[in-house]
């Protein structure tokens, strides 16, 4: 992505130290980032750090370089404003339209997407005043992420932790790519997403597996939370990624474990997205002890089929439930990638199928992806190679469109 103009607002919370990593990620992606810290933020991280990592002067006051009118110019020129951390105080001032420092002035003059990333103690996040302020900002079109659950300041743990910088940067890139990519269209919905690749044991140390990293499924979960889903259940198979904020993560290993977890979560779900790379086969049995290397040839491994989880979900689906499958395909002498995808959509019976070509370094363990979203009752949607969050947003767009078509035909 070409360099874009970003304002990184930093409010006065201990999580300001994480914003340093976010700044590095944004600048390393080639973006032109101006840091606007509040006065209290500079008590946690100083001007020298922000300036050194952004390669720009730090904007501190409406009176600095007054002839350039910074309180207006910064907001007008920005293509994205990210506030991380956004404290309870900052959210309150922004919701009430105050302009008592450079950051709140910038928020009032910005006409680009604004992404607030809250961080505070659980009691502050749950206080009715904060709840109302967040609702006000969201109603006005700002994106306010849900905080993560984890260790807070001191010894307490709960909801209020700043999401990981990698997840914030991912959503920032998405908003730069598609400013309307995070509408609150999943409010009140329970969504279930599977991610990663299953492993089928051969012995206690060996397994049959695949190259899936889980990045695409995690992006789908993160975007769902950012689009307001009331509950996001992520079934993660053998991933090494931080949990996305606003999600409940269930870690599994094998296809059988994943199937059990997905079926349980799907009982009350409005949408299920099967993005995991689930093994089609498993060894008929697993050795109790490690198979030793010897001069003799090892015994052949007999494979048996795993259950078709997506087909079972279609069979057992709740009324109105939307089911989305993924198909990692390669073309062969019997058909193209898209032809195989269309056949799989008809065979599975799901509502949507995301078809992407794999092999040759594509899709697996990469930050980007390309795909075609097939539907049983709409034209295909082609997503060119882009960050995986872009495809994730397109999947939720397709789900929303599918639900709308179903509602209008009742």
Q: Would you name the residues annotated as active-site residues? A: 210
CA distance 361 to 379: 28
Residue 338, Cβ neighbours under 10 Å: how many?
17
Which phi and psi (to 5°) does residue 45 adopt?
A: -135, 130
Place of tokens 């057992």: 316
| Cα 220 to Cα 95, 137, 241, 245, 405, distances in angstroms | 29, 23, 14, 12, 22
Tokens standing for 405?
């078509």
Outline where DSSP puts E strands in 21-162.
Answer: 32-37, 80-86, 114-118, 143-144, 148-151, 157-161
CA distance 361 to 91: 43
Q: Given its phi and psi angles, is residue 51 left (phi above 0), alpha (psi -120 to 50 degrees) or beta?
A: alpha
Say what angle helices 88-95 and 102-109 make with each other, to 10 degrees.
Answer: 40
Cα 310 versus chain centre, distance: 22
């Amino acid at each position: 992505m070409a360099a874009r103009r970003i304002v990184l607002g930093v409010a006065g919370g201990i999580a300001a130290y994480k914003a340093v990593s976010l700044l590095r990620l944004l600048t390393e992606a080639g973006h032109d980032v101006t840091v606007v810290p509040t006065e209290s933020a500079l008590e946690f991280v100083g001007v020298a750090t922000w300036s050194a990592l952004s390669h720009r002067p730090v904007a501190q006051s409406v009176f600095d370089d007054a002839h350039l009118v910074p309180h207006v110019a910064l907001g007008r020129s920005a293509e994205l404003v990210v506030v991380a951390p956004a404290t309870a105080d900052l959210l309150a001032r922004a919701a009430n339209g105050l302009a008592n420092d450079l950051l709140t002035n910038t928020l009032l003059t910005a006409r680009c997407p604004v992404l607030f990333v809250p961080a505070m103690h659980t009691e502050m996040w749950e206080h009715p005043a904060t709840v109302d302020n967040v609702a006000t900002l969201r109603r006005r079109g700002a994106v306010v992420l849900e905080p993560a659950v984890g260790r807070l300041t001191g010894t307490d743990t709960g909801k209020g932790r700043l999401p990981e910088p990698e997840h914030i940067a991912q959503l920032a890139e998405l908003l730069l790519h598609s400013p309307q990519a995070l509408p609150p269209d999943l409010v009140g919905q329970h969504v279930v997403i599977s991610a990663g690749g299953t492993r089928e044991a051969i012995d206690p140390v060996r397994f049959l597996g695949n190259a899936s990293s889980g990045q695409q499924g995690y992006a789908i979960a993160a975007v769902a939370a950012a689009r307001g889903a009331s509950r996001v259940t992520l079934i993660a198979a053998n991933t090494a990624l931080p949990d996305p904020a606003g999600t409940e993560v269930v870690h599994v290993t094998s296809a059988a474990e994943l199937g059990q977890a997905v079926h349980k979560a799907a009982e009350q779900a409005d949408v299920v997205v099967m993005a995991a790379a689930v093994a089609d086969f498993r060894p008929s049995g697993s050795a109790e002890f490690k198979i030793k290397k010897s001069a003799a040839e090892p015994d052949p491994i007999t494979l048996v089929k795993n259950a078709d989880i997506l087909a079972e979900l279609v069979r057992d689906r709740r009324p109105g439930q939307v089911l989305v499958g993924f198909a990692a395909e390669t073309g062969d002498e019997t058909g193209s990638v898209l032809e195989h995808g269309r056949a799989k959509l008809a065979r599975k019976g799901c509502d949507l199928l995301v078809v992407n070509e794999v092999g040759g370094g594509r899709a697996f363990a990469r930050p980007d992806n390309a795909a075609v979203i097939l539907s049983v009752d709409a034209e295909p949607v082609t997503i060119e190679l882009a960050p995986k969050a872009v495809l994730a947003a397109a999947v939720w767009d397709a789900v929303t469109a599918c639900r709308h078509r179903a509602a209008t035909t009742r």
